[in-house]
Amino acid sequence: MANNKQPDSREPYVVAIDGPSAAGKSTVAKLVAARLGIDYIDTGAMYRAVALAALREEEVGEAAAEIGALVSGLVIDQADGRTLLNGEDVTDKIRAAACTKRASQVSQLPEVRRELVALQRAIGAHRSVVMDGRDIASNVFPDARYKFFITATPEERARRRTLEMKEKGLPCSYDEVFADIEKRDWDDANRALNPLVQAPDAVLIVTDGLGVEEVLEKVLEYIVNP
Ligand code: DC
């Protein structure tokens, strides 16, 4: 695989993991980061934090200029697996359905992407990180030392997500979850700016029929001598 060069432990490096929603990226990315002893950065959570801020500001509509003004005044941080918005821990709040929907809208806006991509690049400039999202290998860190595209069929992702929600006691139907996944796939892939795309030099991992540990081992297999 062209992108998987021998790591030099003295140099900070980025492990970029992209893929569609509900593909299990974040679970694997967290485990990879723990095994490598480096930080995990969830860029989807950053878009969700902007969405939460927009939902909270009643006067902020959907206009790009308004959201752009809002985002430039926000302080978004990630530490120890938590997401902070202006110092407040919003890790759980940003998972609400309203936030998921609004995150999809705000992530289309150039003003928002410009701010968040700059933040993501600043984070990865001086320390080693595992970063997951939709455009990390293709846009944020095109020179990332390791690049992965983790995906699964929409049917498999819907099946897993339905099970996960039922286990959390959240009522949902497979058909609804499947429709939501298909819509999010379409939105992610057809966004004008930085759409979801597999970088040409990313390692493709299709996780249908694989457990988390098996996916983790596949990723680590490519990362020699961490
Ligand atoms: O992965 P997630 O569901 O938490 O992502 C939330 C939203 O942010 C989703 O609509 C896709 C978008 N996103 C993006 O546009 N670019 C990224 N690098 C990460 C997420």
Please state the rounded mean pLDDT for residues 14-26. Answer: 95
Cα distances (angstroms) measured from residue 26 to each of 53, 67, 89, 215: 23, 26, 19, 12
- pLDDT for the residue numbered 216: 97
Secondary structure E strands in 33-143 = 39-42, 76-79, 82-85, 88-89, 129-133
Judged by DSSP in three states, 147 sits in: strand
Residue 1 reports pLDDT greater than 50: no
More confident residue, 57 or 42: 42
Residue 40 reports pLDDT greater than 80: yes
Cα distances (angstroms) measured from residue 110 to each of 43, 54, 140, 175: 16, 16, 14, 32
Rounded to whole angstroms, the Cα distance separating 210 from 226 reads 23
186 burial type by CB count under 10 A (0-12 exposed, 13-18 middle, 19+ buried)? exposed
Mutate to test the pocket of ligand 1, among 107, 147, 183, 191 (most ligand atoms within 8 A of CB): 107
Confidence of residue 64 (pLDDT cuts 50, 70, 90): confident
Rounded to whole angstroms, the Cα distance separating 147 from 225 reads 16
**Mean per-residue pLDDT over the chain, rounded:** 92
List of residues 6+ apart from 116 with CB closer than 8 A = 43, 46, 47, 50, 71, 76
Residue 20 reports pLDDT greater than 60: yes
- How far, in Å, is the centroid of ligand 1 from the Cα of 8? 30
Rounded to whole angstroms, the Cα distance separating 219 from 10 reads 21
Backbone angles phi, psi at 76, to 5 degrees: -115, 125
More confident residue, 189 or 5: 189
CB 35 within 8 A of CB 165: no
Residue 189 reports pLDDT greater than 80: yes
- pLDDT for the residue numbered 57: 86
Confidence of residue 168 (pLDDT cuts 50, 70, 90): confident
Q: Does the beta carbon of 18 sit less than 6 angstroms from any atom of ligand 1?
A: no
CB 153 within 8 A of CB 22: no
Mutate to test the pocket of ligand 1, among 47, 148, 150 (most ligand atoms within 8 A of CB): 47
CB 52 within 8 A of CB 85: yes
Rounded to whole angstroms, the Cα distance separating 86 from 94 reads 14
Q: Does the beta carbon of 25 sit less than 6 angstroms from any atom of ligand 1?
A: no
pTM to 2 decimal places: 0.92
Q: Which residues on adjacent β-strands are paired with residue 82?
A: 79
- pLDDT for the residue numbered 7: 54
Q: What is the pLDDT of residues 84-121, one digit of tens each?
A: 999 999 999 999 989 999 999 999 999 999 999 999 99
* Closest atom of ligand 1 to CA, residue 140: 18
Please state the rounded mean pLDDT for residues 42-70. Answer: 88
| Percent of the chain residues past pLDDT 70, beyond the cut | 93
Q: Does the beta carbon of 103 sit less than 6 angstroms from any atom of ligand 1?
A: yes
